[in-house]
Amino acid sequence: MKTILVPTDYSDNSKAGLKFALQWASKEEVKLLFMHVLQVNRESGMSEQEFHHFIAGKIRHEKQVLEAFLQTVFAEFNIQPKHYAVEVVEGFSADTSLLAYCDEHPEISYICISTRGASGIKKMLGTNTGNLITTSEIPVMAVPFHHQENDLNRVLYASDLMDYPQEIEKVMGFAKPLKAEIEILHFSWPYEDYSDDSPLRRDYEYGFKLSFPAHDVTQRLMTNLHDEIREKKPSVVVMFTHQEKKFWEKIFSPSKTEQLSFRLDVPLLVFRKEGKKQING
């Protein structure tokens, strides 16, 4: 059974990730592991033993708070997960704490996180999502804080086709249990000919659609992708990427100027790309 790690800072914005995870669990038998990262300040004069005892008490209390918060979320969305657990870890930084936990728990298959959390000192999500994507070896499902419910029935896999055989297996591993349709999107260049697409379909029992729109060279590749997402309205977009942190900062930017940022409108599942790094437009 897959385990999906679902962080929350108790904010309303973080509920998008929780709701998506609950919908996911309603379509596939998975275990949801809801987690809160607790920041604890050490009081002056407190010994190491006293501090550890203090942290243990804080964590016990915070687990009760997390459980109570989740019960209100389950009632709000009218979904009760079949398999779930709660965990509270102490740490200064949410993203590094989550990654450290995943390193110690190889059973975790995905991280499902909202793209924006609470504001001010309690801020946990948002930029941490970008940090997770650029460092996590575990696939990250980034859910826009404003995302509404969907049927999880259509997956759009944006591909450069360079590592296609390995990547399509991972895409199918996500989509098949959900019985979701897969559309593979590749922006073609004038020198590419996909009139015979049989090599891309061969040996796969799970059917999928192939789409090869011409790359509009007057726009950046991410702008072209944004336009396709708006038109196709998939449930989830899947990408494999080596992108640097500054790229993901643009994706999660609150800027409303589309020319300057790629606004995330649908959940984005990001896998770590194997092989050589490539240049993206």
- pLDDT tens for the chain, 281 residues: list them: 999 999 999 988 889 999 999 999 999 999 999 999 988 777 676 777 877 888 888 899 999 999 999 999 999 999 999 999 999 998 888 888 999 999 999 999 999 998 875 444 344 444 567 778 878 899 999 898 888 777 899 999 998 888 888 999 999 999 999 999 999 999 888 777 877 787 787 767 788 888 988 877 667 777 788 888 889 999 999 988 775 555 555 555 544 333 333 466 889 999 988 755 443 43
Residue 275, pLDDT score: 59
DSSP annotation of 214 reads B
pTM of the model: 0.85
**Is 254 buried (19+), middle (13-18) or exposed (0-12) by CB count in 10 A?**
exposed
